[in-house]
Amino acid sequence: MRRFKTSRRTLVGLALVVIAIAGVGLIVQESTHTRIIAVALDTVVIGQALRSSDVQGLSVPDSPVFDSYATPDDIGGSPVVTRSLVAGELIPLDALGFEAISDDSIVTLELSIGQPEWLQSGAVAELWVAPMATENSFLAPFVLAPEVTILRVNKDEGFAADAITTRVEVLVPRRHMAGVIHALANRYFVHLGPASGITP
């Protein structure tokens, strides 16, 4: 009778070991299946069109956990971001739209303001302009657009880099676009500063 009990316990133990080994095998097999999802390479602000060069593919386990995230193929149509993303963030599908935000336009500015800490993608800034008075002087500056969003900051790099001039892409509300175009066309002095009361 004792032998029978011992044999039954042994069989149960062996069965549990077999089940555990099979489970581990399934887990290992599942881990060999992967998918590629998209990760933001830099800060992307709301309203910005996302391009393939703005993302990088990341290999992750093929799990339903990642079903709600975009793949690099989803970025092929240059979707518009409906909420801001930070560098290194997995891109949720619900953060992408495919209709441009018609209220804003992108303007590229050449600025001589160096590289202040606040001047970075995603920051909100004031756009100041000063009309020309004479060939070498300007009238008093004023705020033309109180809130523009900085999309990209392009700085020279290398040994001969210009540490003063910075090319900045900003998102300008449409209601201010006529004034901005007029200022640029007439060679107004243009300057960006942190928006009043807003922490970049």
Q: Which domain holds residue 78?
A: 34-97
What percent of the chain stands above pLDDT 90? 19
Residues 39 and 84 both lie in one domain: yes
Residues 143 and 83 both lie in one domain: no
Residues 143 and 64 both lie in one domain: no
For the full predicted model, state whether its pTM sits above 0.75.
Answer: no
Which pLDDT band holds residue 96 (cuts at 50, 70, 90)? Answer: confident
Which residue is associated with the tokens 């801001």? 84
CB 156 within 8 A of CB 168: no
Q: How far apart are CA 147 and CA 193, in angstroms?
A: 10
Residue range 59-94, pLDDT digits in tens: 999 888 888 898 988 887 778 887 788 888 899 888
